């Protein structure tokens, strides 16, 4: 079954190859812009299908496809129409693809070199530590009931109803207490 598929693929490639060969022979004998345009359209689809498995980034793929199409147009005079089209075509595609990968690798190296220095991790964590100490200091100044309400709400994650049941206060009072305490802490830190 695999061999049959391969044979069919080779026959199909041969037919397509002969088709391109004859198209190029035809517009060399009589330059026809319409025929040339059709040829370029077919080739661009072919290029896109070739590049899809090789290059994942859509923008890069489109840019490379455009470059290859331009190279094919510029170097078409080097193709010998008495020979198969595909070796010539694949050679151009391979050359341009390798060139593209080399340029992409070079760009990546340069972009890493130009990257700004990362912020100092130690400075950041020291700032956070000081801030945490301030918050803890403010928490120590709260009354026992306020401390319990804030601790149950923000550290232990109890709901308003559960806190109200535990402390014996109304739910609205619990909400107001939480809001006032957080506002005071925030104002004292800024």
Is residue 44 within the footprint of other proteins (CB under 8 A)? yes
- Cα dist from 15 to 43, 51, 183, whole Å: 15, 22, 79
Could you say whether residue 40 binds other proteins (CB under 8 A)? Answer: yes
Question: With respect to other proteins, which residue has the nearer C-beta, 79 or 174?
Answer: 79
Please name the residue that has the structure tokens 């700004």. 116
Q: Is 37 in the site for other proteins (CB under 8 A)?
A: yes
Can residue 34 be called a binding residue for other proteins (CB under 8 A)?
yes
Q: Per rule CB under 8 A, is residue 94 in the interface with other proteins? A: yes
Task: Say if CB 41 and CB 33 are below 8 A apart.
Answer: no
Taking CB under 8 A as the binding criterion, the range among 90-98, 111-119, 129-137, 165-173 that sits at the site for other proteins is: 90-98
Is residue 106 within the footprint of other proteins (CB under 8 A)? no
Told to check if 20 binds other proteins by CB under 8 A, we report no
State in angstroms the smallest separation of the CB of 86 from other proteins: 8
Beta-carbon neighbour count of residue 100 at 10 Å? 19
CA distances from 40 to 31, 50, 52 (A): 14, 15, 18
Task: Report d(CA 51, CA 43) in Å as an integer.
Answer: 12
Rounded to whole angstroms, the Cα distance separating 38 from 28 reads 15
The pattern of x and - marking residues 60 through 79 that bind other proteins according to CB under 8 A reads: --xx-xx--xxx-xxxxxxx
- The 10 Å Cβ neighbour count of residue 185 is 18
Sites of contact with other proteins (CB under 8 A): 27-28, 31-34, 36-37, 40-41, 44, 62-63, 65-66, 69-71, 73-81, 83, 87-92, 94-95
């Amino acid at each position: 079954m695999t061999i049959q598929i391969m044979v069919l693929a080779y026959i199909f490639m041969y037919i397509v190859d002969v088709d391109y060969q004859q198209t190029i022979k035809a517009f060399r004998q009589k330059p026809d812009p319409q025929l040339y345009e059709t040829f370029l359209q077919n080739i661009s689809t072919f290029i896109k299908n070739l590049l899809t498995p090789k290059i994942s980034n859509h923008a890069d793929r489109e840019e490379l496809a455009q470059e290859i199409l331009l190279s094919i147009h510029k170097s078409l005079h080097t193709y010998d129409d008495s020979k198969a089209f595909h070796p010539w075509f694949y050679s151009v595609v391979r050359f341009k693809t390798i060139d593209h990968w080399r340029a992409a690798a070079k760009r990546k190296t340069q972009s890493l070199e130009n990257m700004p220095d990362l912020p100092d991790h130690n400075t950041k964590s020291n700032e956070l530590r000081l801030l945490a100490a301030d918050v803890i200091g403010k928490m120590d100044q709260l009354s026992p009931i306020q401390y319990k309400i804030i601790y149950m709400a923000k550290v232990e994650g109890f709901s308003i109803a559960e806190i109200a049941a535990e402390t014996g206060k109304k739910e609205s009072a619990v909400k107001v207490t939480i809001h006032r305490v957080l506002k005071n802490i925030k104002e004292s830190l800024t």
